[in-house]
Structure 1
């Protein structure tokens, strides 16, 4: 019987997983989840968790993971349909009547397992025959031991068009064709054996049943590897080679490793790494990723170190990105150039491969490395192209929380890579963040989803920062940022450097900064949504409505271009004040101590800069700023 995904989802949604498991396992409440000692392995400290909201259980000790249906099949050994029926009865759902066509297909598939098992036994017999000598010699050259040959069921297909057909004629020609063992040509030609002159490797489903074959040619010829075609038993896009063995091994190792081919899997297993699987001649699919995530939260992809292998890794990263979420990611291992896992373990042993697996490259790092090195970033257009690609990648992630974290992380890396540099690698002061003693900025950083502002490092600067901006200027700047949020992203570090003492105003500033750094250039609609979510909308609205702020950027009818220009000028000037005052006080102290001409000149220069900044701010008050602008001052 075939049940629709919609029906199965309804069964899962109506089932209380904690109630189901709690019938036989003692549970402890742990926040929004439940904890217990794992029913799948012996333990004294609970590492088995149940999440009713998400509908799954997970053991951090052995890796057991699944939903309500999986629990009944694994813990109680029920067949799938019996598990579904029991759950459906418990929640008042009626299992749909079987679709005759689906039932017929399932019954036909059940009969085909006998055919593939018979073919497997025949291929194994041929490997031990005289004709199988070349295949045995090949396995010996590859260092594959007899125990490994038996465990993985290696066989041999003689170089003949009809030997398998004759040997398995009792299975029926139609069924041999349906399992892909025979090719049925068009016209009047007779069906003939698909696999000829090849080392044969059986492909099994998760229950260990033979469903298809892979054949490696022993001499010259193409293709090097030949897989069975898709059949009622074999869905290439949902099958992973060695999944039946890797699944239990992954519970002990708490990881699963994805390599490119059969022999890589087999070489790793022989070296003691049994949790390896391989896709079957195709790029990693969504269906295969889903199966991998049931085994481990971050499967490790280990493709060959050549260009083709690295392209396959990037394709897998792009394929996985829309589906990542908490507990669902990927790791990547890059092998030495020209080597595959089989080469590495044969030449350097298991320890060399284990060393690579100890520190896999996270998914975000692989994506960033690929995109940032795709082309030179020596033009504005190239840098803009990189930024767009990064944001487009992040936008494909379905999980909103993870999507926001990726945008934030990639924006930080982009900013660090592309921010303008001065001679000697020093950036302009207004781009470097909060002033340090001597007039240099200290950059802000993200932490826990917020932009964290470093405190001034000199005592003089600390005094200015603790006192904060004059309340009038503070309200004016915040009102300007709320009215003109598109300014924030381009001047984030100067905004971050503003000395703000009032806690409510400081929180509003940090919300504005975080929003701009996560989402890029803000519009009013997006900003209002964020302010409402953060509980800061009342303060922002009060600033918009305040009428005692006589600046171009606080007026509703102001020219937008002029308002933006004046607001940026005020922000840059106010952000510079703590460092300027700190430097001036330091110069004054040096003058008192030394009395030399250099100290005096430095003090006068800094005092003049401070006075000019104050005049510049005064000139921006509404009216005075307009008249001075008209006079060309």
Structure 2
């Protein structure tokens, strides 16, 4: 891991405009002193994503994501921290200090791997139209894929037999070892051999659009029908979705997403202008992939064949989805007519008809769940008992307690059986993941900190007593006291305290971003908030320490409370006179 000097990170950020970075993905509009747009981390209809051009921080008041330019590239585009730093440094025309780069050889190996994978994709693409690619081209034409799709998605051909990769990259042992590391060769008893042979090749990219692996469909006889790259440092099948980097922006713009079963389904949809399809890599969809889908779209349609295998696949997806479901999500399930897949239906009916099926025939997830339970349980009294028992165990995995209660009522109505109370209590008492690690603040403390971090010069004018305002809050105290230290160490009012604290306390960056991006705390409001903070602090002390505090404080603190009351009355009159 690189250990970048703070001064270098400061320089990178000072030359980076976070608005430019975010505006590539989010349409931002001026809203007061900040910019607002629809959050790229969760689906929403009203903008709650705020970007402070002044403080160079973003925050979403809907999902709670926040941070700076490095964090946005890491959270949204999938960069590691060193990659984010190096990317922004390159854009800013800065050279990364050599002594602080990653471990010797790490960066070179990474670049070499991605270069090898990209060159392999190009080699497969060339081989498609070579002397041996006739069967692959014929298959593509049979499936009706136009040339623009073939080239745009990196389709290719792996020739039959062994030796193609070595023809492209050379026969030396070092190259062979590198090709084995990225999953293009395997080592057997007789040496190295090509992993992909006589297959139509599908290029698989990560969230950043880099080639990380391949899927290959056999042409003619052979098993397996589809073969993927093995797990490598670059290819993790359970994290990837085919079509993600190519379709992400369209999905967000159109607010439509359809999850299909295979590569050809994704490509068929794209060929008909529906660049909204994603697919797992030849296996049942997993929880991490579903989580990524929900980040893109709140109402995805999971599309499956209408046969028994399709319904079983749908049920597995629903089971994996249960812990992730929330009241604001609206996934649906679409079963196609038996014997049809998206490819064949598009050829028969066209794109608009397929869109109509998505709109009119896709069933809500609750309806799909109830129908699946009934099919699993069977008929009669025993069937109702089995249905209730299965529902109970599945509901226990849900983390949205209100949604779980609503679903529980539906099952109880359908079966006439009351589900177990202990599971309900268990679900209700389990902590929500979103609440873990949060900092507890009262409303007035929240606005006080927002006022300070929006205009950090206000730290200079705080009374001495203010240092103790948040002394009992372990989550905020180190950050708050460090701000005083920074103020004391510099005479420059232009020092960007918010940015400096965000770098020193990366775990608190979301908090700082939230305060910076809140509605502006005007001077007159801030004065009133400061008086309330002081009053609350004095009252807490008088309540808990009166018996032990010095006599002088026992006398002066109540007097100060009366002064604060008078100052608040005066301030209120000033606000009334000015119409504030």
| Other-structure match for 1:555 | none
1:571-624: CA deviation from partner (whole Å, max 9, x where unpaired): xxxxxxxxxxxxxxxxxxxxxxxxxxxxxxxxxxxxxxxxxxxxxxxxxxxxxx
Q: Which has the greater radius of gyration? A: 1
| Other-structure match for 2:441 | none
Give the CA deviation at 1:56.
Answer: 6.3
| Other-structure match for 1:254 | 255
Give the CA deviation at 1:74.
Answer: 9.5
Give the distance between the partners of 1:522 and 1:286, measured in 2 at CA: 23
| Other-structure match for 1:333 | 334
- Does 2:180 align with 1:177? yes
Give the distance between the partners of 2:276 and 2:356, measured in 1 at CA: 16
Q: Show the 5 A alignment for 1:317-396.
A: 317-359=318-360, 360-379=362-381, 381-396=382-397
Give the CA deviation at 1:378.
Answer: 1.6
Give the distance between the partners of 2:31 and 2:420, measured in 1 at CA: 40
| 8 Å CA contact retained: 1:184, 1:192 | yes
| 8 Å CA contact retained: 1:39, 1:75 | no
The SS at the match of 1:191 is: strand
Q: Show the 5 A alignment for 1:387-536.
A: 387-415=388-416
Give the distance between the partners of 1:157 and 1:289, measured in 2 at CA: 31
The SS at the match of 1:203 is: strand
Give the distance between the partners of 1:282 and 1:265, measured in 2 at CA: 15
| Other-structure match for 1:290 | 291
Give the distance between the partners of 1:209 and 1:299, measured in 2 at CA: 25
1:123-168: CA deviation from partner (whole Å, max 9, x where unpaired): 1111111211221111111111112111112111111211222221
Give the distance between the partners of 1:163 and 1:79, measured in 2 at CA: 32
| Other-structure match for 1:193 | 194
Give the distance between the partners of 2:365 and 2:334, measured in 1 at CA: 11
Give the distance between the partners of 2:132 and 2:83, measured in 1 at CA: 47
Give the distance between the partners of 2:75 and 2:241, measured in 1 at CA: 24
The SS at the match of 2:132 is: helix
Give the distance between the partners of 1:251 and 1:328, measured in 2 at CA: 15
C-alpha spacing 1:520/1:409, structure 2 compared with 1 (3 Å): farther
- Does 2:49 align with 1:47? no
The SS at the match of 2:227 is: strand
Give the distance between the partners of 1:39 and 1:520, measured in 2 at CA: 38
| Other-structure match for 2:140 | 139
| 8 Å CA contact retained: 1:158, 1:198 | yes
| 8 Å CA contact retained: 1:289, 1:320 | yes
| Other-structure match for 1:281 | 282
The SS at the match of 2:214 is: strand
Give the distance between the partners of 1:49 and 1:204, measured in 2 at CA: 30
The SS at the match of 1:234 is: coil
| 8 Å CA contact retained: 1:258, 1:300 | yes
| 8 Å CA contact retained: 2:78, 2:207 | no
Unaligned runs of 5+ in 2: 4-17, 23-27, 52-57, 87-98, 429-580
| 8 Å CA contact retained: 1:333, 1:361 | yes
| 8 Å CA contact retained: 1:302, 1:335 | yes
Give the CA deviation at 1:337.
Answer: 0.6
The SS at the match of 1:184 is: strand
| 8 Å CA contact retained: 2:162, 2:193 | yes
The SS at the match of 1:332 is: strand
| 8 Å CA contact retained: 1:404, 1:518 | no
Aligned-residue RMSD, C-alpha: 4.0
Unaligned runs of 5+ in 1: 4-16, 41-45, 87-96, 419-488, 490-516, 527-633
- Does 2:262 align with 1:269? no
| 8 Å CA contact retained: 1:28, 1:36 | no
| 8 Å CA contact retained: 2:39, 2:49 | no
Give the distance between the partners of 1:119 and 1:373, measured in 2 at CA: 47
Give the distance between the partners of 1:76 and 1:324, measured in 2 at CA: 21
Give the distance between the partners of 2:369 and 2:78, measured in 1 at CA: 42
Give the CA deviation at 1:107.
Answer: 5.2
| 8 Å CA contact retained: 1:66, 1:294 | no
C-alpha spacing 1:385/1:226, structure 2 compared with 1 (3 Å): same
| Other-structure match for 2:67 | 68
Give the distance between the partners of 1:68 and 1:263, measured in 2 at CA: 38
Q: 2:60 aligns with which of 53, 57, 62?
A: 57
TM-score by length of 1: 0.54
Give the distance between the partners of 2:352 and 2:344, measured in 1 at CA: 13
| 8 Å CA contact retained: 1:300, 1:333 | yes
Q: RCO greater where, 1 or 2, for CA within 8 Å and sep 6 or more?
A: 2
TM-score by length of 2: 0.58
Give the CA deviation at 1:377.
Answer: 2.9
| 8 Å CA contact retained: 1:298, 1:327 | no
C-alpha spacing 1:521/1:141, structure 2 compared with 1 (3 Å): closer
Give the distance between the partners of 2:64 and 2:290, measured in 1 at CA: 15
| 8 Å CA contact retained: 1:200, 1:214 | yes
Give the CA deviation at 1:83.
Answer: 9.8
Give the CA deviation at 1:321.
Answer: 0.1
- Does 2:149 align with 1:148? yes
| Other-structure match for 2:552 | none
C-alpha spacing 1:408/1:518, structure 2 compared with 1 (3 Å): farther
Give the CA deviation at 1:393.
Answer: 1.6
Which deviates the most, 75-84 or 351-360?
75-84
Give the distance between the partners of 2:380 and 2:79, measured in 1 at CA: 61
Give the CA deviation at 1:410.
Answer: 2.2
1:189-247: CA deviation from partner (whole Å, max 9, x where unpaired): 11011111111111111111111111111111111111111111100000001100111
Give the distance between the partners of 1:201 and 1:76, measured in 2 at CA: 25
C-alpha spacing 1:84/1:211, structure 2 compared with 1 (3 Å): closer
The count of residues paired between Structure 1 and Structure 2 equals: 381
Give the CA deviation at 1:388.
Answer: 1.8
Give the distance between the partners of 2:303 and 2:217, measured in 1 at CA: 21
C-alpha spacing 1:289/1:126, structure 2 compared with 1 (3 Å): same
| 8 Å CA contact retained: 1:109, 1:232 | no
Give the CA deviation at 1:105.
Answer: 5.9
The SS at the match of 2:213 is: strand
Give the CA deviation at 1:355.
Answer: 1.3
Give the distance between the partners of 1:83 and 1:172, measured in 2 at CA: 25
| Other-structure match for 1:494 | none
